[in-house]
């Protein structure tokens, strides 16, 4: 992981590719642009940052200023949702599910239509 301008660059393999291309003495700005270009995971304060922070994909060039858009679907700080409590009456046994599956789902093998040419090859 590398920290540049408050942004965590999390993908070590992509960082290695960036430094392999730019060299060990590359500026932080150049590293951030190249890393963003590769689509590496960038996190700010535990929240994923959407791609395009330092590299404009549609224009195919580096941005003049950073564009930070947070993706709340990846939030390390979010609390886990509470589990729903289920009463014993609502718990369904595996055997019952198998029975329902047999009743509800038809045997699809009986429904398969095979062309005459394929039927000859199958014999």
Question: Which pLDDT value is given to residue 23?
Answer: 95
Q: Is residue 7 part of a domain?
A: yes
Both tokens of 35, joined, read: 């890393």
Claim to verify: residue 39 and residue 67 sit in the same structural domain: yes
Claim to verify: residue 65 and residue 8 sit in the same structural domain: yes
Question: Which pLDDT value is given to residue 12?
Answer: 94
The span from the CA of 66 to the CA of 47, in Å, is 16
DSSP code, position 121: H
Angle at CA 67, nearest 5°, toward 40 and 17?
25
Claim to verify: residue 51 and residue 8 sit in the same structural domain: yes
Residue range of the domain that includes 115: 93-122
Tracing tokens 């992509």 back to the chain, one arrives at 14
Question: Which pLDDT value is given to residue 86?
Answer: 43
Q: Is residue 28 part of a domain?
A: yes
Claim to verify: residue 58 and residue 107 sit in the same structural domain: no
List the chain pLDDT tens, one digit each, 123 residues. Answer: 899 999 999 999 999 999 999 999 999 999 999 999 999 999 999 999 999 999 999 999 999 999 999 888 877 777 654 444 444 444 455 565 566 555 555 554 444 455 566 555 555
Claim to verify: residue 61 and residue 109 sit in the same structural domain: no
Domain count, the chain: 2
């Amino acid at each position: 992981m590398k920290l540049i301008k408050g942004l965590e660059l999390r993908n070590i393999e992509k960082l290695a590719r960036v430094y392999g291309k730019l060299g060990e003495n590359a500026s932080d700005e150049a590293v951030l642009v190249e890393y963003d270009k590769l689509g590496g995971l960038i996190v700010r304060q535990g929240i994923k940052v959407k791609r395009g922070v330092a590299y404009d994909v549609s224009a195919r060039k580096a941005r003049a200023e950073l564009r930070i858009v947070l993706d709340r679907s990846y939030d390390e700080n979010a609390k886990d949702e509470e589990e729903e409590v289920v009463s014993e009456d609502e718990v369904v046994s595996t055997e019952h599910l198998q029975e329902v599956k047999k009743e509800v789902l038809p045997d699809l093998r009986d429904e398969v239509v095979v062309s005459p040419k394929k039927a000859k090859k199958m014999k």
